[in-house]
Amino acid sequence: MTREKLTGFILLAIYSSAIAGVLAGVISGFQAGMTIAIMVFCAVFSYKYPRMGLWALLIYLPFSGTITYALGNVYRTIGDRITYSPDYALFHLLKDAFYIPALIALIQTYKPFKQLQPKAKLLLAGLLVLVAVCLATLLFVNLPQQLQVQNKESPFIMGILGLKELIGYIPLILCSYYLIRNKNDLFFFTRLQVIVILICCGLGFLQYLGLVTGLCSGNLSLGGEAINKASLQARCLVGGSLLYNPELGLIRLPGTFVAPWQWGWFLISSSFVTYAASTSDPSRRWRLLGWIAMIAVLIMTILSGQRIAVAIVPATFVFLLLLTDKHKHFLPFKLSIVVLLGVWITRTLSTVEERLNSFVDRWEASPPLPFMIDQFKWVIQQQDNLLGNGLGRATNAARRLGETKLIETYYAKLLYEIGPIGMFAFLALVSILTVLTFKAYRSLKNPRLQGLGICLWVFIVFISYNTYYYPLAVDPVDIYYWFFIGILLKLPALDTHKEIQN
């Protein structure tokens, strides 16, 4: 594109966003106008430059919670209650301003379809079955609920939101397949993720320092139920809802995300990415930076108080070491060092001991397996038809549109919303993807791509069949999961390309 055309495009984007912002501002106020203007500019930019839009999505995603609460006056404290402004939903849709226009631009080119066509027949069949079941639930469950409702509930809109959450990000497979053109793009992706992870962990550490030094009071100054629950009233520096009460031995940090458990799953997903970068990057400097990022993730896992992350992050590093270490005769030595280091840290740092004790206490109070079984038993008792109780009925993001249920295990949530047919359709889809990505990984000859592929594939397997909590339903895993699948499917096409330069 020439400089004149680029200038013209930028002026067009600014002009379009300004008009949209002014109109929205007149109707809904200044903040809504500014938000709409930003969204329109991002959408126009992503449509014209879809690759840049997708890179922007990956950069923006981990900081979305911080941007929402720091830049947007989206909530207000009234006594012990938190009220949200109408603009709150707009900030959560900002990531779609990068994603959807980029997707539309890619679909119009047909390039990803042509490249994926030999692999996509079985995948397309599984996806069509899932979409058919979801549409049947929307038309025969959500729509009748809408016709019968006599209050402010919106079951049909709730169903559309639930449908978007369930299948809306599956096309990211196409996007990432298109985005990664060669090995340079691939290692740019891992390096970008390492930088973002280091920044997020750094901000999370500043949040922790702000609490322990008294710069932020956390939950100590709050009353009622907020004294021992994550709350926006305790927000500190970055992110959203936070729990910090040292008198009760409670800490749950949100890092840069909206809520603590989203930060926990970000740390879990980061453990796979940082390990992959530390072993597969062709540059020694970037491998070293990957190891530094691994340490940062481990430190923030300990400091943030995320019990599920405390269990999974260290186990991920050890498991990936067992899978990828090519010097097997040194493996017992390396594992011994890891174990001794872990014992020393546990005995030396009281913080680690507190986190481990908290994890053990939580496990004993609510063991995962009985918890999941109880959730399924309860959902089965609520079933009265094969199409479920309606899309969005167990979706946290749809709670303002009507009555929803908090179901904390993912496949039980699917069973409640779209019934047994829909749940098994989704299970079949992720199983197809697991097999396709495994075949893609196993076909690789390049050792560096093999190392990266196994890390991403283990993440895919873990999320595909994980039913404890619902990471696939919210940021960031709802983006990373589908994005990583597209990258895995693209790796065989990169296997013969020239190696990236150090």
Q: What is the distance between the alpha carbons of residues 262 and 272, in angstroms, rounded to a whole number?
A: 16
Does pTM top 0.85 for this prediction? Answer: yes
Tell me the CA end-to-end span of the chain in Å, nearest whole number: 29
The secondary element (H helix, E strand) that includes residue 260 is helix 260-280
Q: Are 17 and 45 in contact (CB under 8 A)?
A: no
- The Cα 418–Cα 174 span in angstroms is 25
| Mean pLDDT, each 10-residue run in order, the chain (502 residues) | 59 65 61 75 88 95 88 67 70 87 86 65 89 95 87 86 93 92 94 97 95 87 76 88 85 91 95 94 94 92 86 88 69 59 52 54 65 89 88 84 87 94 96 94 91 95 90 91 96 71 41
d(CA 173, CA 374): 34
Backbone angles phi, psi at 14, to 5 degrees: -65, -40
Crossing angle of the two packed helices 94-109 and 30-48, in degrees rounded to 10? 30
Name 231's bridge partners. 242
CA distance 260 to 266: 10
The per-residue pLDDT for 111 is 64
What are the phi and psi torsion angles at 84 (to 5°)? -115, 145
CB 253 within 8 A of CB 208: yes
pLDDT of residue 246: 85
Ranges assigned E (strand) in 175-306: 243-245, 250-252
**What pLDDT sits at residue 257?**
94
Peptide bond into 492 cis (omega under 30): no
Q: Collapsing DSSP states into helix, strand and coil, what is residue 409?
A: strand
* Helix H or strand E segment including 81: strand 81-84
Supply 126's token pair: 């599984």
d(CA 128, CA 122): 10
From residue 47, how far is each of 50, 93, 103, 189, 480 by CA, in Å?
A: 5, 16, 8, 20, 21
So what's the pLDDT on residue 406? 86
Q: What pLDDT, on a 0 to 100 scale, did the predictor assign at position 499?
A: 47
Write out the two tokens for 209: 């320092």
The token pair that represents 202 in the structure block: 């750094």
Alpha helices in 214-259 (DSSP H): none
Using CA atoms, how far apart are residues 113 and 124, in angstroms rounded to an integer? 11
pLDDT at 421: 94
Tokens 């609510």 map to which residue? 366
